[in-house]
Amino acid sequence: MSQVQTGDLVQDEAVNASEGVYQVNVAACDCQGDANAASITHYTTCLAAALANNCGSDTFRSALRSLGQYA
């Protein structure tokens, strides 16, 4: 799923799993608000995994800030 792989198997699997759920949720969205909520959930999940696995988190923080979240 995810194009970017960190080399940390646990992190990569967490991001890939979140990406799969995210894609299903976005496909079911009726409006932009629902899509934004799905994005926020996805990036929050990825950020938590990155922090737990001592991986870079800047990409996820930036994505959340662009969605109006302050991670």
Domain range enclosing 54: 9-66
Is residue 27 included in any domain, yes or no? Answer: yes
pLDDT score recorded for residue 4: 62
Angle ∠(62,56,25) on CA atoms, nearest 5: 55
pTM: 0.84
User: How far is residue 41's CA from residue 39's CA, in Å, rounded to a whole number?
Assistant: 5
The DSSP 8-state label assigned to residue 21 in this structure reads H
Is residue 37 included in any domain, yes or no? Answer: yes
Is residue 53 included in any domain, yes or no? Answer: yes
pLDDT score recorded for residue 30: 92
Is residue 31 included in any domain, yes or no? Answer: yes
Is residue 1 included in any domain, yes or no? Answer: no
Is residue 57 included in any domain, yes or no? Answer: yes
Q: Where are the alpha helices (DSSP H) in 28-70?
A: 32-52, 58-66
pLDDT score recorded for residue 9: 85
Count of domains for the chain: 1
Each residue's pLDDT tens digit in the chain (71 positions)?
455 677 778 888 889 999 999 999 999 999 999 999 999 999 999 999 999 999 999 999 999 999 999 85
